[in-house]
Structure 1
Amino acid sequence: MALGKSSPQITLSSTLQRAGLVPIGNGIYLRREIPPSKSFSDATIYTKSSNPLLREPNIILVFGWMGAKLPHIFKYTKVYEDMYPNATQIIVQSEPHFFWSSKRTRMNNLVPVAEVLEAHGCTRQESPRDGNSPRILVHSFSNGGGLQMYTLGNLLRARSGSSSSSRRPSPHVSAVVIDSCPGNASFRGAIQAFTAALPKNSLLRIPVIIFITLLYGFGIIRHRVFGVKPIFERLKEGLLRKGSEGGILPWMTEKTPRMYICSKKDELIPVEQVEEHVKEARHRGLNAKIVVYEDTPHVAHARRYPEQYWGAYKMIYIVEMRCKDRTKQKCNQELASLLRRLV
């Protein structure tokens, strides 16, 4: 008897089982704490440090780019698994329908993420007395991942009622990696983003382009007639948020390190838009760094230059943790020196 092809459900289940992930929502997966495993043996840049002062992250949030398949996202989470084997990972996919869903639908979809973070104490107003507070690393890809992160921040504030400093979660040790983001919502960029996964000669591209054209036009009408800001403008404002309500995520402060990664060859998110955003972030007093590659496509920097990509993140994280007892000028000089060596 001939064996039939495996169903998508069986394939997904086996993929998740191999990765040690549990689905907890629509496009949301959890990897719980596990005993330490072997780190990369051929690259010291990945090696898990034994220095407790570096306070490695114990919670890692990964927001995938729009339409990213789990095997592609796993290439990043596997590195984190080897660097921080005891950390809890939360993976959030970003599907095209997210962009035209209602605000309520987008927030409801992320409730499982909020529940996990709340269970780990990420939204507490006071730090635990034993000093074992969450240490949170966030890695977001493209505008799709950025919008999921922005929505999660709004959801956490709504659930905790953090409309004032008295209700704001206690600041935690945290860092944010923002890959290929943010960018303006140009019509050409929208078409490229929504058709990227389709074959160039596919007839499916025609109805997709028509739908995006209508959706884009509707967004322009909402903005000009009703004053509703485009969703990507709201994302950029969220990334620049500071004050009593925290950053884009409520536990962030102005000092939280934000590492932006972009490329001069990115056709979806022009490098000038990211550089302009980082300049504004610094002007507002945010701790923003930027790494610019010369020849990498959209969200493909780690694939082409893995040691530089992960090395820049790892070194910046280490230096930021040391900066607590050093002058800002000395820290910036050391960071600049590291980036010149790694990129």
Structure 2
Amino acid sequence: MSPSRIPDFVKLNDVTSFYRPAQVNGNVPPPSHSSDEPGLIVLCSWMAASPKHIAKYTDGYRRLYPRTEILLIEATMAGMLFSGVDLTFALYFLNTYTKGHGIEATARQPIVLHMFSNGGGKNAMDLTARLHELHGTLPFDAVIFDSCPGLGDIKGGTQAMSFALPKAKVIRFVGWYMLYLTTLLYVLIITVLGLEDVVTRIRRSLNDVNIVSKNVPRLYLYSKGDTLVHHKDVHAHVEDAMGAGYVDVREEVFTTAPHCVLLNEDADRYWNAVMAVCSAGKVGQ
């Protein structure tokens, strides 16, 4: 194991790292079951997210819940388009955590899944699918959708992936069109083969009550100012969730914030909504 790009995190592999308060701050006891603190936050960041931008959310969680562990899974362009990222270490970490803190509902603190954009949604979908295959149930007690899920769109998908390109103008110009052609080719292939595109699969899977329990509270954080993931597409997923029988579905709709930077509009409102759903997801409630 080696230091991560995120301060105080330990790297497990190229996309997975974790933060453990006891390793940074000394012998810090875990949250007690009587508190509203989650025991673990699983953070699925957006595609090509920079360390400084991810740190705004990891630091925010650390301030809110100083005794909570954080598992970070980063999104990659290849993981979005092809087979997905390597979740081996994330699965091992989750299995170790649940066994070490008690798998029974009354024997551990809540585990919160927080995903950003369609890139984070893809990793969340793959993670929940693997956990369901392995255990039949999921350990998550609250789910947070940040700026997702959207709908499949060639231009929007290209724009999202282009954040991973170098800053040099010529490289970005050429790279953007190469990504556009790659995305177009992907859409043509799955259309000809009659397959489901990845974004549609994300939307369907994360509203599948056979995988994500309908009793798990969920929060949607999104903005009308988002030009990559349209707010109407996120709200449509909210309506689908309620139609599928999810019993605690919350929305916090921002007005001007761009994609995945809702904190810039109103950080207090953002974190208050997060704390509310984390409390609602308290195990045993």
Instruction: Provide the secondary structure at the position in 1 that maps to 2:184.
Output: helix
Q: Give the distance between the partners of 2:165 and 2:14, measured in 1 at CA.
A: 22
- How far residue 306 of structure 1 moved from its aligned partner, in angstroms, is 0.7
Aligned residues: 278
Letter in 2 for 1:301: L
- How far residue 303 of structure 1 moved from its aligned partner, in angstroms, is 2.6
1:139 lines up with 2:114 in the alignment:
yes
Query: What's 1:174 paired with?
Result: 141
Q: Give the distance between the partners of 1:119 and 1:54, measured in 2 at CA.
A: 22
Letter in 2 for 1:147: K
Query: What's 2:28 paired with?
Result: none
State the identity %: 24
Contact 2:18-2:71 at 8 Å conserved across structures: yes
1:143-202, Cα deviation, whole Å (9 max, x unpaired): 1111111111222234x2x4xxxxx23x65611111000111212202221224558871
Query: What's 2:186 paired with?
Result: 219
Contact 1:54-1:322 at 8 Å conserved across structures: no
Instruction: Provide the secondary structure at the position in 1 that maps to 2:119.
Output: helix
Point out which structure has higher relative CO (alpha carbons under 8 A, 6+ apart). Answer: 2
Comparing 259-268 and 26-35, the one that deviates more:
26-35
Q: Give the distance between the partners of 1:266 and 1:100, measured in 2 at CA.
A: 22
Give the one of 220, 225, 228 matched to 1:260. Answer: 220
Q: Give the distance between the partners of 2:4 and 2:204, measured in 1 at CA.
A: 40
- How far residue 21 of structure 1 moved from its aligned partner, in angstroms, is 1.2
Letter in 2 for 1:213: Y
Contact 2:118-2:150 at 8 Å conserved across structures: yes
Instruction: Provide the secondary structure at the position in 1 that maps to 2:209.
Output: coil
Structure (1 or 2) with the larger CA radius of gyration: 1
Contact 1:194-1:208 at 8 Å conserved across structures: no
Letter in 2 for 1:205: R
Instruction: Provide the secondary structure at the position in 1 that maps to 2:12.
Output: strand
- How far residue 132 of structure 1 moved from its aligned partner, in angstroms, is 1.8
Counterparts of 1:289-300 in structure 2, within 5 Å, are: 289-300=250-261
Give the one of 54, 71, 79 matched to 1:90. Answer: 71
Q: Give the distance between the partners of 2:156 and 2:280, measured in 1 at CA.
A: 36
RMSD of equivalent CA atoms:
2.9
Counterparts of 1:195-234 in structure 2, within 5 Å, are: 195-196=162-163, 202-234=169-201
Q: TM-score, normalised by structure 2?
A: 0.86
Distance 1:312 1:259, change over 3 A: same
Distance 1:323 1:151, change over 3 A: closer
Distance 1:113 1:52, change over 3 A: closer
Structure 2, unaligned stretches of length 5 or more?
26-30
Contact 2:222-2:254 at 8 Å conserved across structures: yes
- How far residue 27 of structure 1 moved from its aligned partner, in angstroms, is 2.1
Query: What's 2:15 paired with?
Result: 27
Give the one of 229, 232, 238 matched to 2:205. Answer: 238
1:112 lines up with 2:89 in the alignment:
yes
- How far residue 320 of structure 1 moved from its aligned partner, in angstroms, is 5.5
1:242-293, Cα deviation, whole Å (9 max, x unpaired): 12xx31xxxxx10111100111110001111011110111011113211111
Distance 1:14 1:127, change over 3 A: closer
Contact 1:223-1:229 at 8 Å conserved across structures: yes
Contact 2:75-2:123 at 8 Å conserved across structures: yes
- How far residue 321 of structure 1 moved from its aligned partner, in angstroms, is 4.5
Query: What's 1:165 paired with?
Result: none
